[in-house]
Chains A and B, each alone.
Chain A
């Protein structure tokens, strides 16, 4: 069997590609013992979850420009609960649920809005959230009086997840345990996104995105499915945020920043919007570029470069890296396939 045949037989099938990626993900910590590298990979997993969340909402034709809001709500809500005695598993779940509930509320406002109006509302919402948490000590104090805790600004216990999730050895949270926690959370998020997109719900999302009036004439309840998209997507974002908070040791209102809102957009567009693989590849590439620029001594000016990358991509690679990679793979295996946008 030639290499060409091999590639044609196995690599083109996306299922085997994903299985291969999962295997690599499982054994990676055995090979990478460097803390810094490990952190970059865990952050990549985090961004894949976050981008997958954004991508699912975009799949239903709703582009959020303020997705950091839900990341932050998940992070803050779970942290508040956990430092007040909730078990980490419950805290993370409730954090994601809180984000999802707020997502439902914002979705209700956004259901009738299209394009930039929807973008503006979500954009503004993230800013409001940042302001509420940042400016209002009343908010924090109210929460404290409710839960009787000492505030959120202090560092959190890095060993928060020690043993409590049941799958880790007690009281030792090692680098690799966090790695696997994020790895499985990421696989779960991607799988959930895949199942939603392949289901009848995903079919309705695509129809709404392609032609909303038509979709309603086919009998799709537009309001309901738009809200479902909002709830699932914001649940995923909240979940990512809830896991990120303890990993990062602390959270502050920075998590609501515009930078965090635009990261999943840039990543998803880089990889390929509306595909399962898009957010994965996009998050991987963009996060590596981001960290590399950090190693080169850049800080916030990295955003300039990312902005430039985004503009160039929209001009020259609007479908992202995903179709390009497929094309190259198919070329290598001699298969000419139809370009599928969905």
Chain B
């Protein structure tokens, strides 16, 4: 479904990503894990066309998208739930959701589906997004991402700054979505949770993919254990 080949990205003269390769198949939950500053968010921004790669290709269903403008990439079926849940805080929940459906034509059905997943949002649809708690904002951010009916949903650090119980809820939702046919790319620092929720994982360190494999194998990997899980 998504194939990233030899992507290189630089901010000015500072190189961030070195020959990054990964792929996502339909129906999978894939995770990219790694420490702060490894370049995880840079990968996400490159996928969405917010940053341009200096070399390499990104193909979505076989079509190259690494030179397409962001709005066209979104239209082709990729949605991003950004790090830090960048909502439109002064707009209502409903307006945020409508905004998410900007490229989509089937708003009514999608809205039903999303409200079914997040009943709380239906109750509070007239409330400003800025007045929600952190966990609720994350729910709204995910819901807004779903409003464009994406084939691939990218979640950038969805557990960031959430209470442990909310972290569990978020990962449960990711699994539920996946069971309903949404392919998910999970970019996380919460490595244990991310690997448990996903099928396959890639470890990104200082801009390079250093490890890849099935998530349960990565959980058992000695390097991952020592470096990230403190075991």
Chain A residues with CB under 8 Å of chain B are: 200, 203-204, 206-207, 210-211, 213-222, 338, 341-342
Contacts and interface: CB of A to CB of B under 8 A. Distances in A.
User: Mostly helix, strand, loop or mixed at chain A's interface?
Assistant: helix
Interface string B70-96: 110011000110100011111100010
Given A203-B99, A219-B148, A342 B70 contact: no
A214 B86 contact: yes
Given A204-B102, A215-B99, 14 more contacts: A203-B98, A203-B102, A207-B88, A207-B99, A210-B90, A213-B86, A216-B70, A217-B80, A218-B74, A218-B100, A219-B74, A219-B103, A221-B71, A342-B95
B50 interface: yes
Contacts, number: 59
Given A219-B71, A220-B71, A213 B102 contact: no
Contact of A218 (B69, B89, B90, B99): B99
Interface in B85-134: 86-91, 95, 98-100, 102-103, 126
B74 A217 contact: yes
14 contacts: A203-B98, A203-B99, A206-B88, A207-B88, A213-B50, A213-B86, A214-B87, A217-B48, A218-B99, A219-B71, A219-B102, A219-B148, A342-B90, A342-B91
Nearest to B89: A210
Contacts of B71: 216, 219-222
Nearest to B148: A219
B84 to A, nearest CB: 11
3 residue pairs, one from A and one from B, having the closest CB atoms: A219-B103, A219-B74, A216-B70
A210 B74 CA distance: 19
A341 B90 contact: yes
B193 to A, nearest CB: 24
Contacts of B70: 216-217, 219
Interface string B162-184: 00000000000000000000000
Nearest to A338: B126
B74 A211 contact: no
A200 B107 CA distance: 13
Contacts of A213: 50, 86
Contacts of A216: 50, 70-71, 74
Contacts of A338: 126
Contacts of B88: 206-207, 210-211, 214
Interface centre among B75, B79, B91, B148 (most CB of A within 10 A): B91
B70 to A, nearest CB: 4
A221 B99 CA distance: 13
B197 to A, nearest CB: 23
Contacts of B148: 218-219
A58 to B, nearest CB: 15
Contacts of A222: 71
B48 A218 contact: no
Contacts of A218: 74, 99-100, 102-103, 144, 148
Contacts of A219: 70-71, 74-75, 102-103, 148
Nearest to A216: B70
B104 to A, nearest CB: 8
A220 B91 contact: no
A217 B45 CA distance: 10
Contacts of B50: 213, 216-217
Nearest to B73: A219
Contacts of B126: 338
Nearest to A210: B88
Contacts of A210: 88-91
A216 B99 CA distance: 11
Contacts of B102: 200, 203-204, 207, 218-220
A19 B148 CA distance: 38
Contacts of A207: 88, 99, 102
A214 B99 CA distance: 10
Contacts of B79: 217
A242 to B, nearest CB: 34
Q: Which of B69, B70, B80 has the most CB of A within 10 A?
A: B70
A279 B4 CA distance: 50
